[in-house]
Amino acid sequence: MTAVTRPIGLFDMAAQQALIRADIDRRIASVLDSGRFINGPEVAELEAALAAFSGAAHCVGVSSGTDALQIAMMAEGIGRGDAVFLPAFTYTATAEVPLVLGATPIFVDVEEGTFNIDLADLRRRIALVEAEGKLRPRAVVGVDLFGRPADWPAIQAICAEKGMFTLDDAAQAFGASLHGKRLGQWADAAALSFYPTKTLGCYGDGGALLTNDADRAALYRQLRTHGEGGSRYEVLRTGMNGRLDTIQATILLAKMPLFEGELAARRVIAARYAEQLGDAVRVPGEMEGAEQAWGIYSILLRDEAERDRVKASLQAQGIPSGIYYPKPLHHQPAYAAGHLASIGQMPPLPVAESLCGRILALPMHPYLDTAQVDRVAAAVRGAL
């Protein structure tokens, strides 16, 4: 008799849902019965739970991770004439938001070993912007890519020296910690995404902002609801429609009891991949003083040809993989012209460009078993 192997998913929401479906159904039914679909009591309950988990003083639920970034920058008055420094190797939303607000994203190279912002390159580009004199250095968006914390003590030191705002794009890293402090406590504000495949995901769009600053939190609450003041029809400032739906909040509340265990499972899986593949490909390393969230597990191949060969071989064996990201942000059609036109003579971004041709994401979710991880690893080794 042939053994039946369980399908492997790049992400797997069904396995988790099976554990909590009854609770989700009960909670959604309660929202339907109450009719409080916008800013129901579950939103405040979730905000309190997320703040307690992260250790941040305040949490403000919003409609997506992108809106979290936008609300945080709007609150600082970031706009035309401002330079916002961010990694060239990340998801598009990080660059999209400053452009929407009229600011100029300044792309910074990343480190090959961490995928996160290169601090020496960040300092170099801040100095070049200052020397050119056309833009004001206003903010650094550090991205905790794939669940690995950026070097927040160093980023904070740079920004304190320059009087710049720090924004943690922790969309892929909720649950990670650095030197005993969860993400959400390090930067002036941290933006979370609850897109379904994130470490903590809802069943639609959702996000949140974490901060230790009470004034910022109050402003975020105004901005997410059209800039409203003390009443619905008192508008104090230009805001946006950026509220978190009650149903999405209640789904996240149902998932919270599983979250610590899922983070632990992700760490075990990452360690197993490293053990199985560390002598064959470049695997992401552990970070001293950190507990990584392992939102995505990406390996590096020698070149694009080898990456494509491994990806095709995995696909032929029924094993999914992903490429995050196929282009650096400064090569994206929407950003390329502005990047070249607005910053004068900036150095190239070679690491970001190289990573896009070599990176490959393997299945990573808390419900992979050892046999599945070993099957993926054996398939990768066999394709080399």
Query: Cα 154 from chain centroid?
Result: 19
Query: How would you classify the pairing of strands 82-87 and 207-211?
Result: unpaired
pLDDT tens, residue by residue, 117-133: 999 999 999 999 999 99
Task: For the chain, report the end-to-end CA distance as a whole number of angstroms.
Answer: 31
The string of pLDDT tens digits covering residues 261-316 is 999 999 999 999 999 999 999 999 989 999 999 999 999 999 999 999 999 999 99
pLDDT > 60? residue 1 = no
| Predicted confidence (pLDDT) at residue 232 exceeds the cutoff of 90 | no
Q: What is the mean pLDDT of residues 224-240?
A: 87
Region for residue 234 given its phi and psi (left: phi exceeds 0; alpha: psi -120 to 50; beta: otherwise): beta
Within a 10 A sphere around the Cβ of 224, how many other Cβ atoms? Answer: 27
Dist. CA 192–CA 171, nearest whole Å: 5
Contact predicate 143/86, CB 8 Å: yes
Q: Is the pLDDT of residue 255 over 70?
A: yes
Bridge partners (DSSP) of residue 330 are: none
Q: Tell me which residue has tokens 């914390």.
A: 149
| pLDDT, position 229 | 84
> Cα–Cα distance between 87 and 353 in angstroms, integer?
12
Q: Quick one: pLDDT at residue 57?
A: 98
3-state secondary structure of 379: helix
Report the percent of the chain where pLDDT is more than 90.
91
Long-range contacts of 223-226 (CB under 8 A, 24+ apart): 223/71, 223/74, 223/75, 224/60, 224/62, 224/63, 224/67, 224/71, 225/39
242 has a pLDDT exceeding 80: yes
How many Cβ atoms sit within 10 Å of the Cβ of residue 11? Answer: 18
Query: Chain centroid to CA 371: how far?
Result: 28
Average pLDDT over every residue of 346-350:
91
Instruction: Read off the pTM.
Output: 0.96
For the chain, domains (ranges, CATH) are 13-255 (3.40.640.10), 257-383 (3.90.1150.10)
Three-class SS state of 352: helix
**Burial degree of 308 (CB within 10 A; 0-12, 13-18, 19+):** middle
pLDDT of residue 236: 86
Report the C-alpha gap between 220 and 251 in whole angstroms.
23
Rounded to an integer, what distance in angstroms lies between the CA atom of residue 286 and that of residue 303? 23
CA neighbor of 144 nearest in space, from 197, 183, 201, 195: 183
Of 323, 305, 309, the residue nearest 381 (C-alpha): 309
Contact at 8 Å (CB) between 221 and 44? Answer: no
pLDDT of residue 3: 45
Mean per-residue pLDDT of the chain: 95
